[in-house]
Chains A and B, each alone.
Chain A
């Protein structure tokens, strides 16, 4: 196998896309778990504990790097695949394709771009604050740990930000809607009996996870 991932065969690239995608979905679940702690009426005790754990645990720190790598690799591969795909049809059709296909499947690069936008904003808001690169209106709790709960409350209390946040999360939902079963298809995990379940679960996942995320700004807004 060639060492450079640029020279991976088309299917190898796709397999990495799928594996990383599934890994990132797992991350979404964990992240949502922490976020939902915000809903507890305990003055942010659980959330702070979780944030503290995530911020200090060494295994989590290692995973943070893996996660970052995963994101970057997933995004880079996505872009490389897309460029190749565009190059594969240098002369476009005059009439747009009317083949009946699942609507969102054709727009993965665009929904992916939305997710990327979200990610960048997210990084601004949290990691950059954490590393002290970006100042915030909310004072830190002590010298070391920024007050994420405070930041969260501050941001979500601004309707414009919340609406923006919700819109981007819906974009993530669109991305997931196609991604889940497509990942299984790419990994060759296709089966007469189980594939309908996977497809169904994928849809469930793509609706429930974003909903979970959306509840939080709504909670703070209302």
Chain B
């Protein structure tokens, strides 16, 4: 059993990162050329890491399943990126960003990592501006900020509603530059299938060329994972259709620990579900809550009438509206963190106040803002979101309030990493959403972009050298070693197994079924009985999958059904771990809400005594996991109940 040593540098919190950098090992330029690094994923974390490592002189190979690195799902982030620049002079500081992030995460994240994140946040903005990211500007030409959930200051930088896109294109540009220079080699339409471990260290991968189905072996002195989150375990989520847990799941099975899988974020402002053919839920940026007010009808009768399309939102008088977030949380109002806003919406809908055809929706209303600021201001701020809403819902949000409902969005949990972002497998690193490190039990808005880029530009390029400095004597290995052989055979076998089931049901059928189980029992509110039932149902579904799935075509061609099958097979195992972890955590915190543990007012009831730890799971065999605890120590921060009232 590997020792859970987070390798946090000693010394006072504010000096840890400097202290680390001052004393870490480095690799000299001539040796960098001799070292190969494999990066999986081309999102913010992967692209920025590959570009930075390439610049430094390492040989980098980067893989993505998409046709171009620019399509990674970081691109879909809308709202913005946080940094402690304090440009608006509203009292922000590195400490405050750090504090807000820890508090927002409900005291379940590692202090040292979060502090480092806040510390490098300012460098990210500098870097991105230099790359030409067209952030919003004030009339004087300086950068503009806006406020976001969970903060009392305006520290969010943004590029309209497409911040993720612009940041990713910046990183993609940096990556493209290295591709041209030849320091990085791109393998697009390639999916990582398995990790190759030689003498206990990560030494390469098996990848499948998705166009012709050929399996390839790639060697690396180190392997970096930037493969994103597992939100698609819920089937309907705001993630891209291809987002998956497979890469992480393969390394989990090979000894990397999976931390806090039950910490999943349900985003409060998404377009509600409208039919069972639906494949995807669309997010409406959290920034909308800056100017939009969330409400439901005070009376159930009005809600009922709206469900039956007898009345419109406009017909409900001001005094008959319940602005429940403003009522319950006067200090933060509509800008409470995501977990709080999501649960409050669910609570109102469960109580019979939900609107829309299904009753699973609340209003997000801009009427007052339009009156106050004028339609053009709202259009300038959120034009593209309003347009997107209208295209999907066929209703004009300038005239009628938006209908929104929470949806699975982000995974705070992920592969366990230490301070250096290394997993429990030496030489294997995890960045961004793929790791668990910075967001605790709940992520604040505009922090995911910050983390992805912090890890990729400013953390990993340092910490990986500390490891690689010890690898300079290891020559590039041939890929005909038995370990490569064996890994490839395992992948081949699994693909053959999948193809040979030849059952009657499509992959999507199983994915949808899994999603229903996960949303029902392991979604926004969980309880012991439900979780136990979920585990049973998932096991049964998994067994059925391996008996009855049908994958048309063959394995040696472009076969989207086969790709999906591999991913769903892993989700069917991962979902169980998620439920397992949720069952283990007998408390409510952040995105993890156990109905048994709540205050009289329906707020999260944490149990710091017993659960102030990172739950890192080790894979034993299918359906069996061993828990390892990494206790969380708060030296700088006083742990309090999280109050946004």
Q: Do chains A and B touch in the complex (CB under 8 A)?
A: no
